């Protein structure tokens, strides 16, 4: 575990000689373990695997599950890419990387369950190198259609435990950062009930780097000050987070997957999936960047739902379970502490 300190730390970025290989193996192992756990809980469908190469350098293995017992459609992607220069949007945050070639590897996942009581979930863990610098990034967040306090608390609690094992300030900062990032501005609505999200984690001692924020995570991390971490610390942290996903999500699936539902619940799920499309195509950096830089479109857009609907001025009935989603669940809540008995 690293220690919290208000002392600035050296910005020289040390990493092991086999950093790329280890990071790649880590995210591949996360992909493998998650796919296995998902097939088990699904009970019917298996992942289809596509290996692909990127003309400009790199490639990946995309795994798709469809028409399963639980999962209507979903994908768990692994990719490894390299090139001459990072995109401008990243260079603004990490100017030290300008003029250097880069390497990036990661795994990302979105699952769209069939049953409206099973929440959609997203996970992404990645590692970057560019000239003198490197960083880890990622997180996981939950998007229910019908909310359950028990599920939200569980998902957060497991991620908090994973964070706390590495640094007491990780969960508070990365929870706020997640709330800020997965926000659908034009709807003034969070995408879901959150989880954790972090970017640009390196050994500079800086816990938070904007700009996708209303400033609260930033303000909090400023208050926290600098946090001393090594490459090894962060590697271990990402491994813990990746491993935590199964414990965070699978019990929720087990609890909800056999709940009965009808056309009403299905229609609401399809409507809410429209919000997921809106977020991913308008705001999600990974999606927009991938599409604009000649990424593999089918792998990038595997995050989109199998079916979604839009309805002009839809408003759920007052006091209904559907109204409860936006009125109670899609609020920024301290899930771990608010519901302690």
Residues near a copy of itself (CB under 8 A) are: 50, 62, 64, 66, 73, 75, 185-187, 270, 274, 277-278, 281-282, 288, 291-292, 297-298, 300-302, 304-313
> Catalytic residue at 159?
no
Output the smallest distance, CB 39 to a copy of itself, in A. Answer: 17
Contact at 8 Å (CB) between 27 and 127?
yes
Q: Which of 209, 150, 147, 202 is nearest to 174 (CA)?
A: 209
Q: How many CB atoms lie within 10 A of CB 189?
A: 16
**Beta carbon of residue 304, minimum distance to a copy of itself (angstroms, whole number):** 4
CB of 122 to a copy of itself, least distance (A): 15
Please say which residue, 186 or 318, places its beta carbon nearer to a copy of itself. Answer: 186
Cβ proximity to a copy of itself: between 112 and 166 the closer is: 112
User: Tokens representing 180?
Assistant: 């800020």
CB nearer to a copy of itself: pick between 58 and 274: 274
Shortest distance, position 81 Cβ to a copy of itself, whole Å: 16
Which 3 state secondary structure label does DSSP give 101? coil
Distance CA(299)–CA(313), nearest Å, equals 32
Residue 38: helix, strand or coil by DSSP? Answer: helix
CA distance 141 to 166: 19
Round to whole Å and give the CA distance between 236 and 26.
10
In the complex with a copy of itself, which residue's Cβ is closer, 84 or 298? 298
The catalytic position among 112, 122, 154, 167 is 122
Residues acting as catalytic residues: 122
């Amino acid at each position: 575990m690293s220690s919290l300190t208000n002392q600035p730390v050296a910005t020289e970025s040390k990493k092991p000689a086999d950093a790329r290989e280890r990071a790649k193996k880590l995210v591949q192992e996360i992909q493998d373990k998650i796919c296995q756990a998902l097939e088990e809980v699904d009970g019917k469908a298996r992942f289809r695997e596509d290996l692909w190469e990127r003309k400009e350098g790199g490639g990946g293995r995309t795994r798709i599950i469809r028409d399963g017992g639980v999962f209507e459609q979903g994908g768990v992607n692994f990719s490894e890419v390299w090139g001459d220069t990072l995109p401008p949007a990243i260079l603004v945050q990490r100017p030290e990387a300008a003029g250097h070639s880069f390497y990036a590897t990661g795994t990302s996942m979105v699952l769209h369950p069939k049953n409206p009581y099973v929440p959609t979930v997203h996970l992404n863990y990645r590692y970057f190198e560019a000239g003198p610098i490197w960083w880890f990034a990622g997180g996981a967040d939950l998007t229910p259609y019908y909310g359950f306090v028990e599920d939200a608390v569980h998902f957060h609690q497991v991620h908090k435990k994973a964070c706390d094992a590495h640094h007491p300030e990780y969960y508070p900062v990365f929870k706020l950062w997640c709330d800020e990032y997965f926000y659908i501005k034009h709807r003034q609505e969070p995408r879901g009930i959150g989880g954790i999200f972090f970017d640009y984690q390196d050994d500079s001692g800086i816990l938070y780097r904007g700009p996708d924020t209303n400033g609260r995570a930033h303000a909090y991390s400023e208050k926290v000050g600098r946090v001393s971490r090594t490459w090894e610390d962060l590697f271990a942290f990402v491994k813990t987070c990746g491993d935590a996903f199964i414990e965070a999500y699978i019990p929720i699936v087990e609890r909800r997957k056999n709940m009965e539902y009808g056309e009403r619940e299905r229609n609401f799920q399809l409507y809410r999936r429209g919000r997921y499309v809106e977020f991913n195509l308008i705001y999600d950096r990974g999606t927009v960047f991938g599409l604009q830089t000649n990424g593999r479109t089918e792998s990038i857009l595997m995050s989109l739902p199998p079916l979604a609907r839009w309805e002009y001025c839809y408003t759920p009935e007052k006091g209904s379970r559907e109204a409860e989603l936006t009125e109670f669940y899609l609020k920024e809540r301290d899930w771990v502490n608010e519901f302690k008995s």
